[in-house]
Amino acid sequence: MQDISRRKFLGLMGSAAVLAGLGVAGCGGSGSSSDSGSADAGAGDSGSSSLSGTIVCSGATSFQALVEDAANKFMDANPDVSISVTGGGSGQGLSDVKDGKAQIGRSDVFAEAKLEAADVEKLVDNQVAVVGMGPIVNSNVDVDDLSTEQLKGIFTGEITDWSEVGGTAGPIQVINRKPGSGTRATFEAAVLQGATVPDSWKPVAEEDSSGTVVEKVQQTEGSISYLAFSYYDDSKFKALSVDGVAPTAENVESGDFKIWAYEHCYTPADADEVTKAFIDYMLSDEVQGELVEKDGFIPVSGMKVQKDADGNISNK
């Protein structure tokens, strides 16, 4: 390659560009063919007695473990069914189910937040669990309770020292999640209440996942972040109560603890039989009664309040 002159190289790039240009029309068409996707889930041949087929379930990682556990039990009972539970995040889950690349798309936000209204209409929202989330701090922080107002101040950069909220003086190290994260969307909706974060302020880290949040909060003195109840671990960090309400499943169910979200399993409106059967299983007592709580989530049936896609909370 060294022996090619610069002029020749530039010429090459030019011809590559021309080739690329010629390809535009052809490839535009092939790109859209993806929609036909992989809905060949093999459900057609499933009899009424024994189920068989393949389900791909991609999306949010926050309750992937719950779905994996349920899927394993379902597969034990139905040996001819294969459920492949993959990650990727809420956005990918919704894209995949919209594009037909997956039969189930997991999301921890309402599809309305990510997809066009026309696409949302083609999907069915199955709320398989509720997840509570709350603020957590490094174990050395001597504050146990923060008001919603104080949290708002901290996460918009107005309050920067622990002494301002009744703790020992020291900088507050805010560890946030990435803007696209469902956990962050839920937390901000409940805490910021419409307040905007100034451009000039930024956290000390924006993490991609709950795993790294736990690690960073554990290691960084004076740090604060937020996390789903299912990941709470007293040996690694301290969970705070909010407005005097402890972060417990009961308080979420009663509506006293405000930071929570649904875990959604979106399916296409024309889902195949095996997918429907698995969703029914997810909503059955076997999962809702045992697995959901075992994995740290809250059954939807126990909720005394409900939330709509716009975040309005009402009594059931």
Partner 1 sequence: MAKTKEEYKDKKMMPKGQLESVGLGLTGACVAVVAIVVVALIFMVAQQGLTTFFADGIGFGSFITGQNWIPSDGRFGALPLIVGSFSVTLLSTLFTLPIALGSAIFVVEIQPGFGRKIFQPLVELLVGIPSVVYGLIGLTVVNAAMRSIFGAAAGTGAGILSGAIVLAVMILPTVTTLSIDALAAVPNAYREGSYALGCTRWQTVWHVVLKSAMPSLMTAVIMGMTRAFGETLAVQMVIGGVEKSMPAGLLDPAATLTTALTSGLSNATTGSVEYHALWSLGLILLAMSLFFILIIHLIGSKGAAKHD
Partner 2 sequence: MTRDLDAHAAKIGKQDKIATGILTLIVGLVLALLAAIVVYILFQGLGKMLTPGFLTNSPLDDENPGISFELFDSFYMLLWTLLFSVPISLGAAIFLVEYAPENWVTAAAKTAIETLSSLPSIVVGMFGSLFFVVVCNFHVSILSGALALTMFNIPILVRTIQQALEDVPRSQRDASLAMGLTRWETTTKILLPAAMPAIVTGVVISAGRVFGEAAALIFTSGSAPARLNFASTNFGSPTNPWNIFRPAETMAVHIWKLRMEPSQGNDVIAWGCAAMLMICILLFNVLARVLGKALAKKMTAE
By CB under 8 A, residue 223 contacts partner 2: no
Neighbours of 255 (CB within 10 A): 17
Residues at the contact surface with partner 1, assessed by CB under 8 A: 1-6, 9, 13, 16, 19-20, 23-24, 27-28, 31, 87-92, 94-95, 98-99, 114-115, 170-171, 173, 175, 178-181, 185, 199-200, 202-208, 212, 215-216, 219-223
- What tokens were used for 32? 């859209």
Cα–Cα distance for residue pair 55/174, rounded to 1 Å:
39
Among 88, 157, 302, 311, binds partner 2 (CB under 8 A): 88
Which of 77, 111, 89, 70 is closest to 293 using CA atoms?
A: 70
By CB under 8 A, residue 109 contacts partner 2: no
The option from partner 1, partner 2, none interacting with 75 (CB < 5 to 8 A, set by class) reads: partner 2
Among 51, 60, 85, 175, binds partner 2 (CB under 8 A): 85
Contacts of 304 (CB under 8 A, 6+ apart): 253, 254, 255, 315, 316
313-to-126, 130, 131, 259 alpha-carbon distances in Å: 18, 14, 15, 11
Contacts of 99 (CB under 8 A, 6+ apart): 34, 35, 37
Judged by CB under 8 A, how many residues of this single chain contact partner 2? 44
For residues 267 and 253, the answer to whether their CB atoms sit within 8 Å is: no
Nearer to partner 1, 44 or 179 (CB): 179
Binding-site ranges for partner 2 (CB under 8 A)? 1, 4, 8-9, 11-13, 15-16, 30-31, 33-34, 37-38, 54, 56, 58, 61, 64-65, 68, 72, 75, 82, 84-88, 99, 101, 208-215, 227, 231, 233, 236
